[in-house]
Structure 1
Amino acid sequence: MAKITIKELESLTANDAGRILREDGNLAGRVSVRKDGVSVSFFYRYRWGEQNKEYSCGSWPRKSLTDIRKARNQARALIDEQINPNEQKKTAKAQAHAATNAKAEQEKSTKVQTLAVQDLAKAWLLDGVARKDGNAELQRRFNKDLFPALGKTAVSSVSEHDVRALIRTVVNRGAHRQAISFFADLTQMFGWARKRQPWRALLVEGDPTELVDISPLIPADYEAERSRILSPAELLELHNRFQQMTADYIALPAGQKYDGIRPLKKETQLALWISLGTLCRIGELLQAEWKNVDLDRQTWFLPSENVKGTRGKKQDLHVFLSPFALHFFQELKTLTGDSQWCFPNKQDDGHVDVKVVSKQVGDRQARFKNRKALSRRRHDDTLVLADGQNGDWTPHDLRRTGATMMQALGVSLDVIDRCQNHVLAGSRVRRHYLHHDYAEEQKCAWNLLGDRLSAVLSSTYEHPPSKSMMSFPAYASTESLPPSSA
């Protein structure tokens, strides 16, 4: 029987489909037609026991005729050794598949072992935490303090010493509150990882944050909670400072204004006085929309989505605007009344950043900041009060100052808490049955505070008292409900 030749194979056409080609050594080929042309599937015929078998040797032209014959010869050699070539092929294929899987598992295991802290942080920010700002502050903090130091470090290699070093770096720049908050974030992230794969398998030595006591890392004289309040003299100094800086800047010749000391932006000044007069959080105020401010009725509505608090416990707040607070809202209306927002951003497509006022106030108390001057940011002491004897002050300190002034005016603690929109603790049964809204009491409290602030600032928008302080409802301390959050 003649051998099959390449020339013979190349001369095949579609008309040869189904034809069987044969040569010595029990090698045969079946002709078929495919999209890419004529193909010949070769097989070796052999007898195994009582049955005739076929062993596939490959297809031409995908496989050369030489390799096809080589496959036939290998099968024939296996038969001589009493090995079924088809079974051998199955076994080899299974072994190759197992080897491929083992290699893939090994690569996967190796990849998991090399997962870095930045990979963990990315997973946690995506699936493990959902802050109100879309985790923007977390991302900023990690970019600044976590990733440069440990971002590329394998999660399995992170130790308690690494965590302490991170915290010390933040503490050493004087950002003690940030250090405490940063440690809380790390604790939350590793706590999340400890319960989930593949991170759980990497923390074979345990959660590194569990072994860290942050107390020795924070200076002993650090106050975990600020207690700063501004005295009446400081409030008057701040009021006069705003007026003097504005007047001095206006008086500068046109050619000197660029290098002159610019006063705090007018909208920022108004925001500070409104925050003081209403006890609102500065971030809540900066998100305000004019549709929620009724200057005729002297009211301001704060929707729950804009207030600070735990999910499910946040509550709306209706603020009655005393003549003091109303005055500044009216002045603000002349500046931003054409916008949807009381404090619009430059594009007027949203409110300003909720931290912008705090940054502007902090930048103007540089002596208390352990940092170099920042690009395009103020770095002076123009808002340091009382020559710095009482330390720095923040917009949130104004909220505390106003609440303290209310307390000194005889306003009960539970009314003050309601003016600050604190979520009140206490019996669920009490909250279920007692639905008095304290609106009138809160209105009186805000008016009393406005009167006091007007007197302190010697201003002309003082509220003519319709009720004396003695007529303000006094509540026994036993009836006061302590706040559950600040």
Structure 2
Amino acid sequence: MQFDARAAKLLKPGEHMTIADHPGLRLECTASRRAWIYRYKSPVDGRMKQTKIGAWPAMSPAAAIVEWEKLRAARDSGRDVAAEKRTARTNARAVENGSLPHAGPYTVRRLCADYLVGHVERNRALKGAKEIRRMFDTMLAPIAGMLPEEVTRAIAFDLLNSFAHIPVQAAKLRSELGAAWDYSLDAGRLREDTPNWWRQIMRGRLRSNGKKIQGKAVGQVKRVLAEAEVGELIRWLPNFSRIVDDALVMYLWTGTRGSEIASMEAAEIAEEKDGLWWTIPKSKTKNARRPGATDLRVPLFGRAAQIVRRRLAVAGDGYLFPARVGGPIEQKVIQTAVHYHQPYSKTRPEDQRPRLTITHWAPHDLRRTTRTLLASMGCPNDVAESILGHMLPGVQGVYNRHTYDRERHEWMGKLSVKLESLASDGGADFVTKD
């Protein structure tokens, strides 16, 4: 970080200064103050927006960067942070004026709404927040109009038990309702003696029996494609749309997560002395909240490098995998496309489309397959885990601060060669016909 306090003091009204390596973070000067501002392009409507972080010098540059990271992570997840702040202010004024339409008894519905607005939408990615809102909207009908104090242990049990046939969803509902009750207790919106039954009932009883395909249980098997299957799948990928084909290739050639691929931006790509590198900001990784985590460095070889260069040519400074309505493509688009082409998919049965010859897999299985390929090639465990963006466990994770860039470069190069050999073993690429 480079911040010149002397230069900051010399700023005149209307002027601003930026902070190196922290895009969008700036210190703006007006006639009465100097404030930290985060300026960004809205993922919702594509317009330039900005939001105040804090006043300088009361907020130090280091503290401003911490808040900038949080806001940038929220923006990367698809949220418009400035719009959210305006909505919160509007709602607060409405509460003060007594003009909110839901003012009245503090029901379970209101409790869950407060939890969504006050905690979930501020701390979760857009995808997760939308899922929790959907879950509350569709699963709470029997208790939504009740007062939280009226929800007895038996009532809570009956609600969860009614969803016992979908145990994973029921367990998620139990967890989120427990957190919602805790949030309202902490905020003083419930009496301190109000029991939180969600933390006590059905513990350990809501377990998945694994997914079913065509009505047949397939258990909790985590799929890893055999080498022959990998080669055949690579040759089949052109049957997908170009954007899905490219994304699935990136899974195999980089081992990264679907969310990281979908949100890839031009600013994260750099041509370095040893080739093309993709640096995924820590805020976009699964380790965003872990203190010892860093940005994830990914060397790009073979087809991955070709895809990135081709997409950079049209992306400008935006997303490499853009959605049609602005912002990045959603990860579920890739997942849905894979399921749509499975031979057992009954989605839009009237549509004619090529069916996958390698079946019973999902995009995330390709990441697991890449990890297995690295192990089979003799890649050291620490290096392979680092490639996938996993933090090393225990004491090793605390004391080992080696970046593994050299090792990543070596083994990702070998992986690319291996994948190309698998793709060529079955002959020329093929595309099935409708």
TM-score range, shorter chain: 0.5 to 0.7
Matched, 1:144 2:153: no
Q: Pick from 240, 246, 250 the counterpart of residue 235 of structure 2.
A: 240
Question: 1:283 aligns to what?
Answer: 259
Matched, 1:402 2:402: no
Q: What amino acid maps onto 2:248 in structure 1?
A: L
Any conservation in 1 of the 2:168–2:208 contact (CA below 8 Å)?
Answer: no
Any conservation in 1 of the 2:237–2:245 contact (CA below 8 Å)?
Answer: yes
Matched, 1:345 2:336: no
Matched, 1:456 2:432: no
Question: 1:61 aligns to what?
Answer: none
Matched, 1:116 2:107: yes
SS where residue 199 of structure 1 aligns? coil
1:424-481 per-position Cα deviation (integer Å, ceiling 9, x unaligned): 23338x745x443211111112122212211111189xxxxxxxxxxxxxxxxxxxxx
How far apart, CA to CA, are the structure 1 residues paired with 2:143 and 2:340? 30
Shift of the 220–193 alpha-carbon distance from structure 1 to 2, 3 Å rule, reads same
Question: 2:73 aligns to what?
Answer: none
Segment of structure 1 superposing worse, 159-168 or 305-314: 159-168
Q: What amino acid maps onto 2:373 in structure 1?
A: M
Q: Which sections of structure 2, spanning at least 5 residues, go unmatched?
A: 1-101, 212-217, 427-434
Shift of the 440–367 alpha-carbon distance from structure 1 to 2, 3 Å rule, reads same
Q: Pick from 412, 417, 426 the counterpart of residue 380 of structure 2.
A: 412
Shift of the 225–322 alpha-carbon distance from structure 1 to 2, 3 Å rule, reads farther
Q: Pick from 329, 342, 345 the counterpart of residue 308 of structure 2.
A: 329
Question: 1:29 aligns to what?
Answer: none
1:72-130 per-position Cα deviation (integer Å, ceiling 9, x unaligned): xxxxxxxxxxxxxxxxxxxxxxxxxxxxxxxxxxxxxxx99942211111111233343
Shift of the 214–307 alpha-carbon distance from structure 1 to 2, 3 Å rule, reads same
Shift of the 383–435 alpha-carbon distance from structure 1 to 2, 3 Å rule, reads same
Q: What amino acid maps onto 1:198 in structure 2?
A: R
Q: Which sections of structure 1, spanning at least 5 residues, go unmatched?
A: 1-110, 246-263, 461-486
Any conservation in 1 of the 2:175–2:198 contact (CA below 8 Å)?
Answer: no
Question: 1:229 aligns to what?
Answer: 224
Q: What amino acid maps onto 1:291 in structure 2?
A: A
How far apart, CA to CA, are the structure 2 residues paired with 1:366 and 1:380? 12
Q: What amino acid maps onto 2:412 in structure 1?
A: W
For 1:15-414, what aligned pairs fall within 5 Å after superposition? 114-129=105-120, 130-134=122-126, 135-146=129-140, 148-168=141-161, 170=163, 172=165, 176-201=167-192, 203=194, 206-220=195-209, 227-243=222-238, 245=239, 264-294=240-270, 297-313=275-291, 314-333=293-312, 336-338=314-316, 340-348=318-326, 350-365=327-342, 367=344, 373=347, 385-386=357-358, 388=359, 392-414=360-382
Shift of the 362–143 alpha-carbon distance from structure 1 to 2, 3 Å rule, reads farther
Shift of the 347–194 alpha-carbon distance from structure 1 to 2, 3 Å rule, reads closer
Shift of the 113–327 alpha-carbon distance from structure 1 to 2, 3 Å rule, reads closer
Segment of structure 1 superposing worse, 232-241 or 300-309: 232-241
How far apart, CA to CA, are the structure 1 residues paired with 2:107 and 2:261? 40
Shift of the 226–284 alpha-carbon distance from structure 1 to 2, 3 Å rule, reads farther
- The structure with higher relative contact order (CA 8 Å, sep 6+) is 2
Number of residues of Structure 1 aligned to a counterpart in Structure 2 = 313
Question: 2:81 aligns to what?
Answer: none
Shift of the 373–192 alpha-carbon distance from structure 1 to 2, 3 Å rule, reads same
Alignment identity in percent?
Answer: 21
Any conservation in 2 of the 1:315–1:421 contact (CA below 8 Å)?
Answer: no
How far apart, CA to CA, are the structure 2 residues paired with 1:395 and 1:208? 37
Any conservation in 1 of the 2:334–2:363 contact (CA below 8 Å)?
Answer: yes
How far apart, CA to CA, are the structure 2 residues paired with 1:330 and 1:133? 28
Q: What amino acid maps onto 2:406 in structure 1?
A: E
Shift of the 183–450 alpha-carbon distance from structure 1 to 2, 3 Å rule, reads farther
Q: What amino acid maps onto 1:155 in structure 2?
A: P
Q: What amino acid maps onto 1:320 in structure 2?
A: P
SS where residue 410 of structure 1 aligns? coil
Shift of the 131–322 alpha-carbon distance from structure 1 to 2, 3 Å rule, reads same
Any conservation in 2 of the 1:167–1:183 contact (CA below 8 Å)?
Answer: yes
Any conservation in 2 of the 1:277–1:325 contact (CA below 8 Å)?
Answer: yes
Matched, 1:437 2:403: yes
- TM superposition shift of 1:132: 3.3
Segment of structure 1 superposing worse, 283-292 or 359-368: 359-368
SS where residue 355 of structure 1 aligns? helix
How far apart, CA to CA, are the structure 1 residues paired with 2:300 and 2:415? 11
Shift of the 298–199 alpha-carbon distance from structure 1 to 2, 3 Å rule, reads same
1:294-340 per-position Cα deviation (integer Å, ceiling 9, x unaligned): 35732111111211225243420111112242233234446x43461
How far apart, CA to CA, are the structure 1 residues paired with 2:279 and 2:384? 17
Q: What amino acid maps onto 2:224 in structure 1?
A: I
TM (norm. structure 2) is 0.62
Segment of structure 1 superposing worse, 444-453 or 189-198: 189-198
SS where residue 128 of structure 1 aligns? helix
Any conservation in 2 of the 1:279–1:399 contact (CA below 8 Å)?
Answer: yes
Shift of the 404–126 alpha-carbon distance from structure 1 to 2, 3 Å rule, reads same
- TM superposition shift of 1:284: 0.8
